[in-house]
């Protein structure tokens, strides 16, 4: 008798867990587009996302694309290696900002000039950690 109760409790808890997992799964599915912190250039150009207002653009800074203008003005290309977008920014860059490294820019897309005007630049750090010496040897 006691054993039967115990089995019933296991079934009950498992049913609850299954139901909760299902609910969370569907909620996350519905929110999927909003959970992404940024859009890649491919996503931004696909037309499936709202890009009229301000949004965040993320990707890698293309090699040899950083051009510094007068004062703090800087222009560079953000790429996901399929599509790319030119970004214009005026302000202080984070110290980890460099070519071939991740970046997340918040701002808006100027459709006529085909330029993303950034108001804030965040550097994305990758998962690699390496002592200084080794990089110099390479």
Residue 89 counted as an annotated binding residue? no
Count how many residues are written for the chain. 138
Q: Which is nearer to another protein, 3 or 112 (CB)?
A: 3
**Taking CB under 8 A as the rule, which mask of x and - marks residues 85-114 in contact with another protein?**
--------xxxx-------x----------
Residue 25: Cβ within 10 Å count: 10
Contact flag: residue 39 with another protein (CB under 8 A): yes
* 92 contacts: CB under 8 Å, gap ≥ 6: 72
How many CA atoms does the CB half-sphere of 35 hold within 13 Å? 6
* 44 contacts: CB under 8 Å, gap ≥ 6: 51, 55, 57, 85, 109
Please, what is the minimum distance in Å from the beta carbon of residue 95 to another protein? 7
Secondary element (H or E) of residue 8: helix 2-35
Contact flag: residue 29 with another protein (CB under 8 A): no
Please, what is the minimum distance in Å from the beta carbon of residue 90 to another protein? 15
Binding site for another protein (CB under 8 A): 6, 9-10, 13, 16-17, 20-21, 24, 28, 32, 35-40, 58, 93-96, 104, 120-135
């Amino acid at each position: 008798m006691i054993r039967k109760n115990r089995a019933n409790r296991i079934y009950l808890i498992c049913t609850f867990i299954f139901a909760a997992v299902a609910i969370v799964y569907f909620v996350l599915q519905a929110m999927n587009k909003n959970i992404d912190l940024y859009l890649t250039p491919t996503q931004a150009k696909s037309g499936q996302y709202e890009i009229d207002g301000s949004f965040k653009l993320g990707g890698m800074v293309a090699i040899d694309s950083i051009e510094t203008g007068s004062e703090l003005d800087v222009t560079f290309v953000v790429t996901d290696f399929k599509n790319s977008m030119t970004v214009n920014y005026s302000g202080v860059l984070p110290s980890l900002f460099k070519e071939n490294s991740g970046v997340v820019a918040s701002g808006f897309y100027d459709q006529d000039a085909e330029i993303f005007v950034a108001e804030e630049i965040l550097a994305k750090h990758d998962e690699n950690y390496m002592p200084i010496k080794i990089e110099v040897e390479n």
